[in-house]
C-alpha cells in the first residue's frame, strides 16, 4: 500500500498485502495529520463508527469513564482530534481502550494508553508527543510544516518513505531481522539526539528496545566522528561474550556502510579488560581463576587455616562487594569502609580478622600469578588511568545493570569524561549477578540525562502482565540513588495466557514438554525460535536427550557456536535473547530459588534478601524472553515464586 500526497510527487509505503486484500484495506482506511505531532496517521472510519455504536450501547449501563479526570483541552493538546474525542469519552476501562488498538490512529492510541497507564499529561507530552513531533520535523531545526506532504516526508517508524521502485524493492528484500532494528519516535529521540553533555542512561522493562537503542546510538556516534577518527573509536560493550556476539550481528544489519561499521568495536567488558592488561604486560597471557567453586573452596581453606569465624561464602561476598567494589587496598581503609548493602555489622576486631583472610587470599593469588576477572578489571582501570590518552571516544554499554564497580571503573577509564562519553542501557529488574552500584560514586553523573522506555515490543500483554506479577518484592534501585519502577510499562500485542502447570514427577514433566515442543514445531514454529530455560544445566541436558530421541534437533547454549535446533540453556544464558515460544522448566521448590545460591538467613539477612531478589529476577528474565507463547512448568511442589501466579489461576 502506497500513499500518494494530494500535491507533489511524494509516495509513502504503508503496508504490504496481496492485491485483493490491499484494495480492501485501501477502501477502509484514510490518512490524516495528527494535530499535535504533525505526523501521518491512518484511520479506519468504518471500524471507528462500529466501535462508537457498541461503546454507546455499553456506556448506557456503565458509569465508569477511563479518561474522566482529563479535560477535552488537555486531550486536544495531546493530539486527540475531534473525531476521536467523543469515542474515547465512552470508554469505561483500559481493556476497552486496548480493544481499539487497531482502530484508533497509532499516535493517538499511544497517548491514550500512556494516560491510562497512569502517566501525567506533561510526561506524555514530553515522552510521546514531542518524540513524534521531532520525528515529523525531521532532523533539522526548522519548525514542522503542516500538511500531509510534509508529514509524509518525515514519516518514520512503522512507515517508510521511498523515492522510487528500486528503493521499494530494496526495502522489501531486506531480511526480517532488519525490521527488528526500526525505532519508535520515543526511542529515536534518545538514540539520535545529536549530542549529550555527559553520561546518559536509558532504562525500561524487558523488551522495550534498550538494545536496539544502544545499537542505534553506536551508529549515530560512529557516523558523526570526524573523518580522521581511527577505526574502533566507538566501543559497544556488554556483560558476556554471547551477548557481545549478538550485538555484533545486529550492528552488521544496521550499519551497511563498511567504513562506518569499522569505527565501532564490539567486545564484552571482561575480554577487553583482559586484552588491556595483557597489552600492558607485553602480551603475556593472564592465568585466570574463573571457577567460582574453586574460589569458594580457597576461601574455605584460608578460613580454616587462620581460624577465622566466617563462612567461605561470606568471605567471598565481602571481598567482592566491599573490598573490590571500593578498590580497598589496605587494612586501615577497610576498617573505615562503609559496608552498605551488607547485613551483618562488623566491629573493628572482626574487620581485622576478615582483612587477614583477604590479605592471605590475595597473596595466594599473587604468588601463583593468578587473577580473577574482577581483579583484571580493577588493574586494567588503574593501568588506563596512568595513561595520558584514552582508547575510545565514546562508550555504549548494554545490560548495564549487571556490571560490578570494578568493571565500571574500567569503563570509566576507557573514555575521557565529557560530552557523549558514556551511553548506558539497562534494567535493574533484570539484575541477576547481585552487583549493585552507585554510578555517581564511580564518577558517572547521569542526572538530567536519563530516560525510560515504556512500550514492550517483544512480549504480549498477557505474558508481560503475568511475568510482572511475579515481582512481588521491593522495587529495585536505579543505580543512581533512586528507585526503578515499571510504571506505564505496557504491551499492545495480544496472545494466549501463559500455560502454567505442574507434574507429579520429573519424567512426566519432561515428557509433556517434549510433546508440547513438537506441537509448536508442527504448527510451523522453527526449532531455533523455541527456547527452553532451566535453573540446573542437568535438567536441560535431560530435556535435550528426550527431544533428540524424538528426532528433534537441539542446541545447548554456551557450548560453542550456535547450531540448528531448539535452544536449551540455563536461565542466566537466556539474558538478552528472545524466542517465539519459551518453556521455563523445572520451576520447583528448592530449585527456583536455588537453595545453594541463597546466603543463610542467620548468616546475613540482608544478603539473603538480595540473593532471593536475584533468583526472582532470573525467573522474570527467563519468562520475558517469550514473544508469543510462554509455558512454565514444575514437578513436585512449585517454586515459592509461583505461589501468587498458581493460586490466582
The binding site comprises 204-211
Among candidates 45, 117, 135, which has minimal Cα distance to 81? 45
Instruction: Give the nearest distance from C-beta 572 to ligand ATP in angstroms.
Output: 13
How far apart, in whole angstroms, are the C-alpha atoms of residue 327 and residue 239?
A: 20
How far apart, in whole angstroms, are the C-alpha atoms of residue 359 and residue 312?
A: 15
For ligand ATP, give the closer residue by CB, 206 or 434. Answer: 206
> Where do contacts with ligand ATP occur on this chain (CB under 6 A)?
180, 182-184, 187, 204, 206-212, 427, 430, 457-458, 576, 578, 624
Q: Which residues pair with 501 in a beta bridge?
A: 633
Among candidates 487, 463, 488, 464, which has minimal Cα distance to 475? 487
For ligand ATP, give the closer residue by CB, 183 or 510. Answer: 183
Instruction: Give the nearest distance from C-beta 247 to ligand ATP in angstroms.
Output: 10
How far apart, in whole angstroms, are the C-alpha atoms of residue 74 and residue 293?
A: 59
How far apart, in whole angstroms, are the C-alpha atoms of residue 396 and residue 593?
A: 32
For ligand ATP, give the closer residue by CB, 135 or 633. Answer: 135
Instruction: Give the nearest distance from C-beta 601 to ligand ATP in angstroms.
Output: 31
Whether 599 and 611 have beta carbons less than 8 Å apart is answered as: yes
What is the enclosing helix (H) or strand (E) of 155?
none
Q: What is the DSSP string of 574-597?
A: HTT--EEEEEE---BTTTTTTGGG
For ligand ATP, give the closer residue by CB, 176 or 228. Answer: 176
For ligand ATP, give the closer residue by CB, 42 or 337. Answer: 42
Contacts of 150 (CB under 8 A, 6+ apart): 38, 136, 144
Instruction: Give the nearest distance from C-beta 118 to ligand ATP in angstroms.
Output: 20
Instruction: Give the nearest distance from C-beta 211 to ligand ATP in angstroms.
Output: 3
For ligand ATP, give the closer residue by CB, 34 or 624. Answer: 624
Residue 18: φ, ψ to 5°: -60, 155
DSSP state of 209: S
Written as nine digits, the cell of 52 is 462508537
Q: Which residues pair with 584 in a beta bridge?
A: 533, 632
For ligand ATP, give the closer residue by CB, 70 or 216. Answer: 216
Instruction: Give the nearest distance from C-beta 375 to ligand ATP in angstroms.
Output: 28
Residue in the block written with cell 544502544: 214
Instruction: Give the nearest distance from C-beta 22 to ligand ATP in angstroms.
Output: 22
What is the enclosing helix (H) or strand (E) of 626?
strand 626-635
Instruction: Write out the binding residues for ATP.
Output: 204-211
Amino acid at each position: 500500500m502506497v500513499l500518494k500526497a494530494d500535491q507533489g510527487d511524494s509516495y509513502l509505503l504503508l503496508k504490504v498485502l496481496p492485491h485483493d486484500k490491499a484494495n480492501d484495506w485501501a477502501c477502509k482506511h484514510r490518512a490524516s495529520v495528527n494535530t499535535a505531532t504533525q505526523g501521518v496517521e491512518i484511520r479506519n472510519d468504518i471500524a471507528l463508527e462500529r466501535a462508537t455504536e457498541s461503546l454507546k450501547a455499553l456506556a448506557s449501563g456503565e458509569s465508569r469513564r477511563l479518561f474522566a479526570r482529563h479535560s477535552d483541552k488537555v486531550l486536544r493538546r495531546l493530539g486527540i482530534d475531534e473525531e476521536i474525542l467523543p469515542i474515547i469519552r465512552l470508554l469505561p476501562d483500559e481493556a476497552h481502550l486496548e480493544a481499539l488498538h487497531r482502530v484508533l490512529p497509532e499516535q493517538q492510541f499511544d497517548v491514550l494508553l500512556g494516560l491510562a497507564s497512569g502517566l501525567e499529561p506533561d510526561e506524555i507530552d514530553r515522552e510521546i508527543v514531542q518524540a513524534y513531533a521531532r520525528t515529523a520535523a525531521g532532523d533539522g531545526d526548522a519548525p514542522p510544516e503542516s500538511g500531509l506532504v510534509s508529514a509524509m516526508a518525515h514519516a518514520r517508524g512503522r512507515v517508510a518513505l521511498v523515492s522510487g521502485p528500486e528503493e521499494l524493492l530494496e526495502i522489501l528484500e531486506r531480511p526480517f531481522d532488519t525490521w527488528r532494528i526500526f525505532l519508535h519516535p520515543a526511542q529515536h529521540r534518545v538514540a539520535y539526539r545529536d549530542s549529550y553533555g555527559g553520561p546518559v542512561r536509558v532504562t525500561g522493562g524487558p523488551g522495550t528496545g534498550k538494545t536496539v537503542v544502544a545499537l542505534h546510538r553506536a551508529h549515530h556516534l560512529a557516523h558523526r566522528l570526524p573523518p580522521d577518527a581511527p577505526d574502533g573509536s566507538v566501543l559497544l560493550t556488554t556483560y558476556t561474550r554471547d551477548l557481545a556476539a549478538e550485538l555484533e550481528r545486529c550492528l552488521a544489519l544496521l550499519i551497511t556502510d563498511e567504513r562506518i561499521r569499522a569505527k565501532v568495536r564490539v567486545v564484552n567488558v571482561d575480554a577487553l579488560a583482559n586484552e588491556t592488561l595483557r597489552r600492558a604486560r607485553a602480551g603475556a597471557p593472564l592465568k585466570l581463576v574463573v571457577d567460582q567453586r574453586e574460589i569458594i573452596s580457597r576461601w574455605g581453606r584460608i578460613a580454616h587455616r587462620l581460624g577465622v569465624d566466617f563462612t567461605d561464602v561470606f568471605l567471598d561476598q565481602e571481598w567482592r562487594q566491599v573490598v573490590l567494589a571500593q578498590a580497598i587496598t589496605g587494612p586501615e581503609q577497610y576498617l573505615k569502609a562503609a559496608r552498605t548493602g551488607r547485613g551483618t555489622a562488623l566491629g573493628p576486631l572482626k574487620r581485622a580478622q576478615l582483612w587477614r583472610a583477604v590479605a592471605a587470599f590475595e597473596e595466594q593469588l599473587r604468588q601463583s600469578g593468578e587473577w580473577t576477572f574482577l581483579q583484571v578489571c580493577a588493574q586494567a582501570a588503574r593501568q588506563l588511568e596512568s595513561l595520558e590518552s584514552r582508547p575510545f571516544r565514546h562508550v555504549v554499554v548494554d545490560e548495564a545493570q549487571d556490571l560490578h564497580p570494578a568493571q565500571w571503573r574500567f569503563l570509566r577509564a576507557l573514555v575521557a569524561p565529557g560530552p557523549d562519553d558514556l551511553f548506558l542501557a539497562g534494567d535493574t529488574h533484570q539484575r541477576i549477578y547481585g552487583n549493585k552500584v552507585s554510578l555517581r560514586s564511580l564518577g558517572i553523573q547521569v542526572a538530567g540525562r536519563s530516560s525510560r522506555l515504556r512500550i514492550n515490543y517483544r512480549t504480549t500483554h498477557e505474558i508481560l502482565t503475568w511475568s510482572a506479577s511475579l515481582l512481588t518484592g521491593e522495587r529495585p534501585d536505579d543505580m543512581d540513588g533512586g528507585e526503578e519502577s515499571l510504571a506505564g510499562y505496557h504491551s499492545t500485542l495480544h496472545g494466549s495466557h501463559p500455560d502454567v502447570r505442574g507434574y507429579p514427577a520429573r519424567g512426566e514433566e519432561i515428557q509433556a514438554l517434549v510433546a508440547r515442543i513438537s506441537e509448536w514445531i508442527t504448527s510451523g514454529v522453527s526449532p531455533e525460535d523455541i527456547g527452553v530455560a532451566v535453573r540446573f544445566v542437568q535438567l536441560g541436558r535431560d530435556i535435550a536427550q528426550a527431544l533428540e530421541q524424538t528426532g528433534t534437533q537441539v542446541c545447548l547454549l554456551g557450548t560453542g557456536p550456535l547450531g540448528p535446533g531448539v535452544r536449551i540453556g540455563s536461565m542466566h544464558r537466556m539474558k538478552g535473547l528472545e524466542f517465539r515460544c519459551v518453556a521455563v522448566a523445572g520451576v520447583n521448590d528448592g530449585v527456583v530459588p536455588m537453595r545453594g545460591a541463597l546466603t543463610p538467613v542467620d548468616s546475613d539477612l540482608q544478603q539473603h534478601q538480595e540473593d532471593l531478589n536475584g533468583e526472582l529476577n532470573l525467573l522474570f528474565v527467563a519468562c520475558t524472553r517469550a514473544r508469543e507463547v510462554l509455558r512454565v512448568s514444575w514437578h513436585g511442589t512449585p517454586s515459592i515464586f509461583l505461589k501468587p501466579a498458581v493460586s490466582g489461576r
